[in-house]
Structure 1
Amino acid sequence: MSHTQYDVIVVGSGMSALLTANYLSKHMNVMVFTKSGKHENNSFLAQGGVAGAIAKTDSWNQHYMDTLIAGCDHNNKYSVQLLTKQGPAMLQEIIDNGMKFDEDPSGNLSLGMEGAHSMRRILHAGGDQTGKKIMKWLHSQLKESVTILEHETVVNLLVDSERCYGVKTLNTLGQRRTYRATHVVFATGGAGGLYSYTSNNNSVTGMALALAYRVGATLTDLEFMQFHPTMLRVGDKAVGLISEAVRGEGAYLMNNEGKSIMSGVHPLNDLAPRDIVSRVIFNELDQGREVFLNIEHVRNFEARFPTITQMCSSHGINLANKLLPVVPGAHFFMGGIETNENGETSIEGLYAVGEVACNGVHGANRLASNSLLEAIVFSKKLAEHLLNKESTIQWMPTDYREKLSSLKRETIILPAKEELQKKMMKYAGIVRNKNGLLKLISWLKTYQTYWESLDEIESSLPLEKIELIYMLQVSYLIASSALNREESRGAHFRLDFPYLNENWKQKRIMHQKKQNISCKSVLTNALFVADAKCKGEKTVEYI
């Protein structure tokens, strides 16, 4: 095995990863790993834009309040203040560095409207190509000191004395390597790939969550998966995202009986928060009706939304009919690896930023177009923290050694990925209930031996099986969180507990793996779920 030392290893290839790498590269030696190609990430697919209170008629305080309302007051208010207060200046900084957003005929920034915002504050680039334009600009900004290694997947973290000091990787040729670093940063996106309908890139499967959990990092808010209401439906498949900005420009949802399904449901009608819109569509589909996005009132649709136009054309959808068939799909994960505002996790030397992280900024439901702003603000916060932090590594860690396996490779029988995705969509999707979650958890636990034995069997498994085992484990943790939160809040909706419960306000469900953990958590204001090492596993208690 090769051993290469870096100042910082960044895992991921999206906006958070490249911004962090670029900020740090001026003073540090940075290596970026991505499991697929450098353009295969959620940031590249982002259509909507970047939210920011930059208009003279707007204020960070209004943006702050909109974020809290959308997040059902589950947000970390300090994180939201950082996002909304520092966001405009950081947006201006990237504009000053050459990133061009769309302008109106007078040369002013063109600001769009999206769901749950109190005013127009969304910056776009190339119409609905914002993510693609930002990523191309970011790649042009990358310094020579940033090395990007494509098609090499991190399959384990190297931890010694409770400090992370590197990664173990497996590439598409089956080669296994270890790399050491003073700091390891996860910026890998969310977990949309756990569901059959998703707007996410195929590579986004939540694997980093399991990697972090495996070495003892705390995971939190895993029950909060946001479903985007409008994925383009072709047959029984979701083939791509139809941005909320389309509804912001006048499109509305209707069923095949010609009824406007959001009219009167919420004061914002079709621009209601995503969880509400998704559930309304889900109910229509559940009753056997089809749902369409009617674009008859959207002016210059093809020029305003070229990506969506091309997607419709390539799948045989005739825009002249003005009706786009839609279905909700897993879109953004509010939960993740617990961090503070500087991206620090509960493991020294391990950091997380972007969608894979959870600093509480989105609460129970992300406000539209806050994710790219999150990447901009918190990537810089993380980079500044690392640049001001003196290295505490004054020793050489022990070499990583494989454990011998008692399980034979041929005895490992896993389900098809598609079976897992369908079960997650059915039982841990838009609408949940106790019986369905228990059924899902029972099925997932039949594979528990594999994720508990990964230290032993990993070296004998191909990448596809390692990833699937991690997906099963993360699905189990998500389902457990959804079962334990007996209320409905934001993106988490329980049919058997359909209302907000004040006793759950600001309560967080956390998961952490430790050998000798006490079943009574010392974490204030948190519902703590220990893993199987905790006697009974079930024990959860308010402190």
Structure 2
Amino acid sequence: MMKCDVLIVGSGIAALQLAKHLMRDYHVRIITKSLKTHSNSYLAQGGIAAPLAPDDSIILHVQDTLNAGRFTQHEDSVYSFIKEGKNAIEQLIAEGAPFDTDPKGQLLLGMEGAHQSRRIVHCGGDQTGKQIIDFLLQQVFPYVEWLENEFVYDLIVDETTHRCIGVKSISHDGTIQKMYAEHVVFATGGVGGIYEFSSNDPTVVGDGLAIAYRHGVAVADVEFIQFHPTLFYKDGKAKGLISEAVRGEGARLVNDCGYYFMEGIHPLKELAPRHVVAQAIFDEMRKGRNVYLDISRVSYFEQKFPTISQFCEKQGISISSGKIPVAPGCHFIMGGIVTDSVGRTTLPHFYAIGEVAFSGVHGANRLASNSLLEGLVFGRRLASWIKSDRSSLSATPNTEKNWPTAELKPSFPIKDEIRKLNMERVGIVRHQQALNEHVRWLEQFHLSYWLTHSLDQMEKEDIQTLFMLVTSYLISQGAIKRRESRGGHFRSDFPLEDERWRQKTIMQQMNDYGWGKQHECIEIEAYA
């Protein structure tokens, strides 16, 4: 029997930060469905936000975070998040993290959209995610157990104690394994892989959300999807991220008529909140126009953005031309598995941190460069809570929950069809008719049936497709329910923010018979 103290699913910044603070006191096992560097954290270009400049402050960073999130967050939660985030960055600096500095050794602080101050720290220009993950891996790797290419597809729940005691996984050779732990943590990332255009690692398709929902764990606000304004776009395909930092250094958005269209849309122009910029680009493209980043005003572009420069050259776009073709694509989900302030969910001994979690700090739209900060803060918070937990329940099952054997054979669509329809119907611009049509299309695949039956006999590819369909369904239902536009959720039939919805959270929770109730308003509290 494979047992450990803490089992972490995922290998991004939240997972590594948690492992770092537990590894010397606990047997920690990290499981990842691909390689350890295949995470959204590793791909992050923009940097990490923290109020480190003399003319900046925690209060200003809080204000920017609340404004970007359209004021759906609790201010106290955001304040503690930013305060702890600043401390986490200062700790990384003290440990020797490779943040960029000027010749005098002072931190180079960048500007990004919706920030009042220069507060973005970078590593290697546009290689922040890679270099920070490599830095944490050096600290963590020798002290934890790693399982790569291991696909976690289910939780193990003890029916006697009603607590999570482990996971089921499929190895690269098709072997099913059961792994038990005192504490099971999902740090599985977001949902970008369910959309046609995405900045995410292609393995990130919402597994964590679907698995949690299957076990009656509450999920919330999943309709809030951030579409990054500037993905590299060529031949009808989005192929990689062009960091917000490029606009922070002076790049402007221009259509193929030579019109700088952000001029009349928002006072911050190219540095407006991401949902504003993404919708503006989407509108231009719907009119049949191409959109470019004009980088002619960015000095020393290749030195500041070496990764982007090399990528563009490989794609046949010369940086010397001064223009990079772009389009918006799925980047980040603000909602997720409902957690309290340390990462506990509605299922005892099951936790969620990072992008997969609905921690409440991002609201309706995440502020640029707050994502890696979230991983650092909540990874450390959960580690502190686990260290203080004095429960000594065994992770050996008394009565393990058994699912009925499925009699149906799965007949699912191809993944590219799911991605295409998600982009069209529950993407940047949404409408009741298209959303209803999408839900009807999803329901024909008997999702409720598969959620309430054993997955042990299913092929790995079918399970992954099922999770994509379930996640798509949850997002669609949330988008139907929220009859307003706010942040990362835009309804063309309800195009304005509605104050009555500001403090409403759409929570979805499954019962034993399939799709569960949807609650418009719920207070998020700590769960024992």
Same fold (TM over 0.5): yes
- The equivalent of 1:465 in structure 2 is 462
Between the aligned partners of 2:415 and 2:270, the Cα distance in structure 1 is: 34
- The equivalent of 1:486 in structure 2 is 483
Q: Deviations over 1:307-340 (max 9, x none)?
A: 1011101111111111100000000110100111
Between the aligned partners of 2:54 and 2:518, the Cα distance in structure 1 is: 50
Q: What does residue range 149-168 of structure 1 map to in structure 2 within 5 Å?
A: 149-161=147-159, 162-168=162-168
- The equivalent of 1:211 in structure 2 is 211
159 and 442 in structure 1: CA distance in 2 versus 1, 3 angstrom threshold? same
Q: What does residue range 419-438 of structure 1 map to in structure 2 within 5 Å?
A: 419-438=417-436
Between the aligned partners of 1:203 and 1:152, the Cα distance in structure 2 is: 12
Q: Deviations over 1:413-438 (max 9, x none)?
A: 11010000011100100000100100
Shift of 1:239: 0.6
Q: Which AA in structure 2 matches 1:253?
A: L
**How many residues in Structure 1 have an aligned counterpart in Structure 2?**
521
Shift of 1:398: 3.4
Q: 1:46 aligns with which of 25, 44, 47?
A: 44
Between the aligned partners of 1:523 and 1:279, the Cα distance in structure 2 is: 27
- The equivalent of 2:32 in structure 1 is 34
Q: What does residue range 221-300 of structure 1 map to in structure 2 within 5 Å?
A: 221-300=221-300
Tell me whether 457-466 or 153-162 shows the greater mean CA deviation. 457-466
Shift of 1:104: 1.3
Between the aligned partners of 1:394 and 1:400, the Cα distance in structure 2 is: 13
Between the aligned partners of 1:115 and 1:104, the Cα distance in structure 2 is: 23
364 and 518 in structure 1: CA distance in 2 versus 1, 3 angstrom threshold? closer
Residues 402 and 459 in structure 1, CA contact (< 8 A), matched pair in contact too: no
Q: Which AA in structure 1 matches 2:282?
A: F
Is residue 303 from structure 1 mapped to residue 312 from structure 2 by the alignment?
no
Q: Deviations over 1:269-296 (max 9, x none)?
A: 1100000000000000001000000000
Residues 222 and 336 in structure 2, CA contact (< 8 A), matched pair in contact too: yes
What RMSD in Å do the two structures reach over aligned CA positions? 1.7
TM-score for both structures, normalised by structure 1: 0.93
- The equivalent of 1:534 in structure 2 is none
Residues 224 and 489 in structure 2, CA contact (< 8 A), matched pair in contact too: yes
Shift of 1:171: 1.5
Structure 1 SS opposite 2:263: coil
Residues 354 and 374 in structure 2, CA contact (< 8 A), matched pair in contact too: yes
Residues 407 and 457 in structure 1, CA contact (< 8 A), matched pair in contact too: no
Q: Deviations over 1:48-67 (max 9, x none)?
A: 00000011111000000000
Q: Which AA in structure 1 matches 2:240?
A: G
Q: Which AA in structure 1 matches 2:466?
A: I
229 and 523 in structure 1: CA distance in 2 versus 1, 3 angstrom threshold? closer
Shift of 1:78: 2.8
Residues 182 and 394 in structure 2, CA contact (< 8 A), matched pair in contact too: no
- The equivalent of 1:539 in structure 2 is none
Between the aligned partners of 1:280 and 1:256, the Cα distance in structure 2 is: 14
Residues 507 and 522 in structure 2, CA contact (< 8 A), matched pair in contact too: no
Structure 2 SS opposite 1:453: helix
Q: Deviations over 1:488-539 (max 9, x none)?
A: 000100000000101101100001112389969696469xxxxxxxxxxxxx
Q: Which AA in structure 2 matches 1:142?
A: V
Q: Deviations over 1:92-143 (max 9, x none)?
A: 1111112120001221000000000001000000000000000110111015
Q: What does residue range 1-400 of structure 1 map to in structure 2 within 5 Å?
A: 3-142=1-140, 144-161=142-159, 162-394=162-394, 396-398=396-398, 400=400
Between the aligned partners of 1:393 and 1:30, the Cα distance in structure 2 is: 17
Shift of 1:458: 1.6
Between the aligned partners of 2:137 and 2:347, the Cα distance in structure 1 is: 30
- The equivalent of 2:495 in structure 1 is 498
Structure 2 SS opposite 1:105: coil
Between the aligned partners of 1:408 and 1:42, the Cα distance in structure 2 is: 35
TM-score for both structures, normalised by structure 2: 0.96
330 and 522 in structure 1: CA distance in 2 versus 1, 3 angstrom threshold? closer
Residues 25 and 143 in structure 1, CA contact (< 8 A), matched pair in contact too: no
Between the aligned partners of 2:247 and 2:406, the Cα distance in structure 1 is: 55
Residues 281 and 327 in structure 1, CA contact (< 8 A), matched pair in contact too: yes
Q: Which AA in structure 2 matches 1:379?
A: G
Structure 1 SS opposite 2:337: strand
Residues 338 and 346 in structure 1, CA contact (< 8 A), matched pair in contact too: yes
Structure 1 residue ranges without an equivalent (≥5) = 527-543
Structure 2 SS opposite 1:489: coil
122 and 22 in structure 1: CA distance in 2 versus 1, 3 angstrom threshold? same
Structure 2 SS opposite 1:142: helix
Q: Which AA in structure 2 matches 1:22?
A: K
- The equivalent of 1:415 in structure 2 is 413
Q: Deviations over 1:181-208 (max 9, x none)?
A: 0000000110011100000001100011
Residues 12 and 42 in structure 2, CA contact (< 8 A), matched pair in contact too: yes
Q: Which AA in structure 2 matches 1:458?
A: L
Tell me whether 392-401 or 491-500 shows the greater mean CA deviation. 392-401
Structure 2 residue ranges without an equivalent (≥5) = none
Q: Which AA in structure 2 matches 1:483?
A: I
Structure 2 SS opposite 1:156: strand
Residues 218 and 510 in structure 1, CA contact (< 8 A), matched pair in contact too: yes
Structure 1 SS opposite 2:456: helix
Shift of 1:392: 3.9
Between the aligned partners of 1:454 and 1:511, the Cα distance in structure 2 is: 14
Between the aligned partners of 2:17 and 2:340, the Cα distance in structure 1 is: 18
Residues 439 and 476 in structure 2, CA contact (< 8 A), matched pair in contact too: yes
Structure 2 SS opposite 1:460: coil
Structure 2 SS opposite 1:247: helix
Residues 4 and 28 in structure 2, CA contact (< 8 A), matched pair in contact too: yes
Structure 2 SS opposite 1:104: coil
Shift of 1:406: 4.4
522 and 107 in structure 1: CA distance in 2 versus 1, 3 angstrom threshold? closer
Residues 156 and 401 in structure 2, CA contact (< 8 A), matched pair in contact too: no
Structure 1 SS opposite 2:264: coil
